[in-house]
Amino acid sequence: MGFRSVLWRGLSTFGYLGFLAFVVFISAGHARRADAAIFQLANGGEIFGELVNANRTDADSFVIRSYSGGEITLAATNVLKVVPQRPVEIAYTKKLVQVIDSVEGHLQLAEWCGKNRLKQSQKKHLQHVLQIDPDHPTARSLLGYSIVDGKWMTRDEKMRSRGYVRDGSRWVLPQEKELREKQKQLKQAEREWYEKIKRYSKWLTGNKRVSGREHLLDIKDPRATPALIYFFAKAKRQENVEILARALTNVGTAAAFEAIVSRTIVEANDDISYFCLELLEQYKPAGAIAVYVDALRSKDNVKVNRAGRGLSFVGDSTVVRHLIRALVTQHKFKIGKENPGAVSTSFGGAAGSKGTGFVSGGGPKIVAQNMRNKEVLGALRSITGKDFDYDMGAWNTWYESQKPPEPKINSRRDED
């Protein structure tokens, strides 16, 4: 049975559904006026045509002029819906009822559909061409096929044959998709923890303080780390800082401990700082020493001393050399005011400093000063049990004396 006869059979028996997949069904009631429409029938069929009696009432029959020719009269109860058609859909339907069921006929209609952006209809006609001629190159190409290892394959089939899988709109290797899925799950869990910890942190300042504290200290999930770090950094009240610091140690990730270390370097409240340092001394987290050693090279003299204090809690013999180098460090300071002609002197500057600065007119000046770092000296004393004050030469001499002697090598051959 040819394509044309199949189409007519579908139209005449109200059962044709094959070639009009582009139709979007809407849940409207019977239309009082529809010049051109799809008439959806109670038995599941459809008729494509024009409503002749456009001024009919709900009880009147439908008189339909079919695109394939002739008029059909249907009782109102036989028509479920009337779906108006766009002009391009009307034009396509009229061409559809006249198409020749051949390769050429379907290719021509597919080309027309492509120009008029009826992609789904174009695809159906190209697929019908392949039913007639499975190796038709034009239809295969337009449907996205190419020859791979002597076989026609779509791009999807080609990618699957190479071991790729779909991840949304992208083709990726299975391992990458698995990794992306894990990352999505991690991000989702982190978002959920953020909302929970935000709520618990608010409870710390209200009548739910005890409950908030218990919930925070019960957290063990590493995925809670980013949220805990965020609210720990924001906390100002000492009691709240201590609760969040303990929560971070309970989670125990490297990032959690690094957040505690970082706070001791920037924290101006000594009580908070010493609490965090005692936690670090208890847990001795890997990586803490490296953060403090790096801070010893800071341009900010206050941070240098806080790093030295930190090393007095978590440092060991491996940091002695770094501490010696940081005993006295040079820092730059701005001296003077924006007042041309003024004269200003600076003798030593900050406590523990050595050096003199002199400013004469022209606004503020930048001077360099050598600063003695009390906390660094304290760390050296604590770790080594020695005290050479700020005498870096004496410290270096002692340090070199602690190195094991080089092994002696006997150049003579042993004789029997």
Tell me whether residue 381 is in a domain.
yes
Query: What is the chain's alpha carbon radius of gyration, rounded to the nearest angstrom?
Result: 42
Mean pLDDT of the chain: 84
Tell me whether residue 415 is in a domain.
no
Same domain, 258 and 385: yes
What percentage of the chain exceeds 90 in pLDDT? 59
The average pLDDT across 332-345 equals 58
Same domain, 285 and 198: yes
The model's pLDDT over 108-146, given as tens digits with 9 standing for 90+, comes to 999 999 999 999 999 999 999 999 999 899 999 899 888
| H-helix or E-strand spanning residue 254 | helix 254-266
Identify the CATH number of the domain in which residue 199 sits: 1.25.10
Q: Are 131 and 139 in contact (CB under 8 A)?
A: no
Tell me whether residue 365 is in a domain.
yes
Choose among 330, 363, 374, 326: nearest CA to 349: 330
pLDDT, residue 377, reads 97
Same domain, 67 and 204: no
Tell me whether residue 73 is in a domain.
yes
Same domain, 256 and 217: yes
pLDDT, residue 264, reads 97
Tell me whether residue 107 is in a domain.
no
Res 46 pLDDT > 90: no
The average pLDDT across 43-66 equals 89
pLDDT, residue 14, reads 34
Distance CA 32, CA 46 (A): 18
Identify the CATH number of the domain in which residue 79 sits: 2.30.30.100
Distance CA 54, CA 56 (A): 6
pLDDT, residue 49, reads 86
Same domain, 282 and 346: no
- In the block, residue with structure tokens 């090598």: 409
Decide which of 98, 123, 155 is a domain's last residue. Answer: 98
How many domains are contained in the chain?
3
- In the block, residue with structure tokens 């007519």: 8
Same domain, 196 and 339: no
Same domain, 216 and 279: yes
Tell me whether residue 383 is in a domain.
yes
Same domain, 71 and 209: no
Same domain, 333 and 203: no
Provide the residue range defining the domain that includes 343. Answer: 328-372
Q: Which residue has the higher pLDDT, 290 or 407?
A: 290
Of 83-92, 283-292, 335-344, the range with the highest mean pLDDT is 283-292
Q: Are 40 and 80 in contact (CB under 8 A)?
A: yes
Q: Are 105 and 99 in contact (CB under 8 A)?
A: yes
pLDDT, residue 334, reads 81
Same domain, 298 and 365: no
Same domain, 380 and 254: yes
Cα angle: 357, vertex 362, 363; to 5 degrees: 70
pLDDT, residue 362, reads 61
Same domain, 262 and 387: yes
Tell me whether residue 173 is in a domain.
no
Tell me whether residue 159 is in a domain.
no
pLDDT, residue 95, reads 87
Res 4 pLDDT > 70: no
Q: Are 258 and 287 in contact (CB under 8 A)?
A: yes
pLDDT, residue 350, reads 39
